[in-house]
Structure 1
Amino acid sequence: MTDPKPVCTDKTKAVIAALRADPVIAKAIQQCEEQHQQRIDDQVKLTEIPAPPFHEEVRADALVEMFKQYGVENAHKDTIGNVIGRVKGSGNGPVLVIGAHIDTVFKEGTDCTVRKEGNVYYAPGISDDAGGLAGMLQVMRCVTQNNIKPVGDIVFVGTLGEEGNGDLRGCKALFKEKNDYDGMIAIDSANVHRILRGAVGCKRFRIIFESMGGHSLHKFGIVGSAIHGLARAITMVDNLEAPQDPKCTFNFGVIKGGTSVNAIAARAEAELDIRSFNQPSLEAFVEKILATIKQACEDENKRWNLEGENAVRLIIEQIGDRPAGMNADDASVIQAAYGALLSLDISLDKYTLAATDQNVPLYYGLPATTLGAGGTEANNHALSESWDSTDAFQGPQVAFLTAMTLVGVQGVTEPILEKAKHE
């Protein structure tokens, strides 16, 4: 089986060449480099406004003001708290969403003060995704400050809850509401040499075993142990053969339970992550794993002849659901992104899959990809996270040229992004 490769047709290359030849577009691309320090200043400012899981309000408020400062006067927060601002086109073109997520993985109270050493900046969240937000703001400035008139509309969005148990809640709300969106570019991670061709789907569960508990000697063999039941479940799942084509994975990432070494555990739980880039395969594998866990509970009770209140009980709670989706290798967003890299003489080193805000539009059948914000990141999701700003202006250059290719520019090019059928 040959590795997938992106496609950029001669027609799309001609569109990009026409854009590059336009003086206003050329000026906007150069502006990314000229405003390199301004982009960094935005990134530092946003990083130092904490946005812990489910508490992104303060950073979101600051982002609304930055949208307005950079020429998007209609910027506002929607009902869930996403920050949204629209640059209107001619009224006849497609609508492209450009998004970056507001939230971080770091808990409330984390020190987010940025420290600088040369071109390297250190702080929790300095890259993921303050870099994406700052890159998006630079694309916004390229459009508004050069008075570019797109054919299609561009909707800039700062989304909530992309990380962890946020479960893409902002992007889900964005696309669930009645809308006219036809495609999306997410700006996430730093790597400008990467294009995401598809979205890894992910379903997450909290697996809970409960029992009466009791003394480890006096109740041994009489009362079931929640820990023993959970351990049996994990072992049985671990013995399953995970599908390889399409690939599926599973992982028990968190486990806790019990109260004392000499007490039969009354409660034990684990958090389970199941992934695949193919939605039907993901659904089937989830069904198989959950059935195995239910069987493990039955087997644990049979092992000790436990019944009634002495038996272990199973509770399964779903805590995450990120849908899978895939672009064709010649999808409009892939052609535009790959063509932008080629035109800007930036190598494509990774054409791969991941789970980002792009999962949601792909699930709805809309073309979507994720582009890097530029620079080089290290230790994401760790307190030691860092970001090297060297050549970081390339990220906004790629995102801007990709966006213009998709939505078109009045008097220069027509859009290559298809208009979807909206109910």
Structure 2
Amino acid sequence: MDTPHSPTARTCSPSSSSMPASMGDRRSRMTGTPWPATSGATTANSALRIGAIGWEEEPATDVAMANMRAMLREAMEEGAFGISTGLDYPPGAYASTDELAALTNEAARHGGFYHTHVRYPLGDRFLDPFREAIEIGRRGNGPVHLTHFYHHQTHPGGPEQLLALVDEARQAGHDVTFDSYPYEWASTRLLIQLPQWVQSGGPMALKERLADGATRDRLRAEMTARGAAYTGPAGWADLRLGAFTRPENLRWESGTLADVMRETGSDALDAICDLLLAENLGVAQVTSGPWSETLPHFVRHPVGMVGTDSTFLGEKPSPRTYGSFPRILGQFVRDEQLLSLEEAVRKMTSAPAARLGLHDRGLLRNGYAADLVILDPARVRSNATYDEPRRFPDGIEYVVVNGQLVVDSGRHTGALPGRALRRGQKPQ
């Protein structure tokens, strides 16, 4: 459906169809709320689709495209850093390559970039998702940043092939960068286990389908077609569940889907559907992600940056939530000597600041914001693990944010000096 242009930069949870405030309103709310860290935001293509089309799996008409471009333009004028996608997640996943290229062009015209969690099910599920991302930047004449770029153990080729895509694009004159995190565990919503068509129409339509026996039969047939690993508990032994809220389900917190299947006698499909319905679609999962043996290829690459990626759901998120940066400094730099301390720090500070176009952050320089981490290189290390992901690191003694001491001798001071940044914001 086509809808009138409505206010901008919106996000929506998987269990709600409501639309929060514009990018400007969100920035104002963040600025007025005490917060320990500095933050900035991109505009999600899912939010634009909800505003212009809704949750339906349908192509964007000319009217819808005009509405999305107008909403994105408004968001960029209000300080968004670019457009972002999570192309495993509806309704943003319903966008075509052409649609995303047009939106990338709009963002680029205002100094923004295309920041993407790629369409992993596309084509060969290996190189094709990243080829599409680079093509979107090429068609849209905008910079591209590939987020959580890594090599999975199930990929048919090696990490060199993935990195060659970046190198070849840059040699052809395209601005392509990426970030990686140094953990083999990924986290997201349990909904990702279901095909995207089942989410068309939004959360209410999804819940109706999950409760329908005929729809479950169709889903079960699709899951069975994916292979024997998807039919029995053994195939789900490393998929840990979290973010439960109902008392009767708290026993599953940090358990696996295999545990649920064994105790309830359900197959995987019924277990997933029953849990999602009981928890208003809000169940989280942690499962295997990057192949640890090939992670150094990405961390060492000249245009690679260090990042993290997590959902703040449940008591046991991915360990990357608490451990990504100290793991690089302790394991990759000090213990394994895969890169120098200086290069690791650059990948965490000045390189991301340059990608975002921050004029007064990322370097120690007169007139720049005083954002500092003071650590002991001999002691710094991550303590976050799969079983205990919320353990804080060792060796980080002091943290200064916007000139205020936030961590003193390893303890939080209570200071909340964070602020919301705008794209193109000049030093004061």
Q: TM-score, normalised by structure 1?
A: 0.26
Greater helix share, 1 or 2? 2
Greater strand share, 1 or 2? 1
Structure with more relative contact order (C-alpha pairs < 8 Å, separation 6 or more): 1
Structure with higher Rg: it is 1
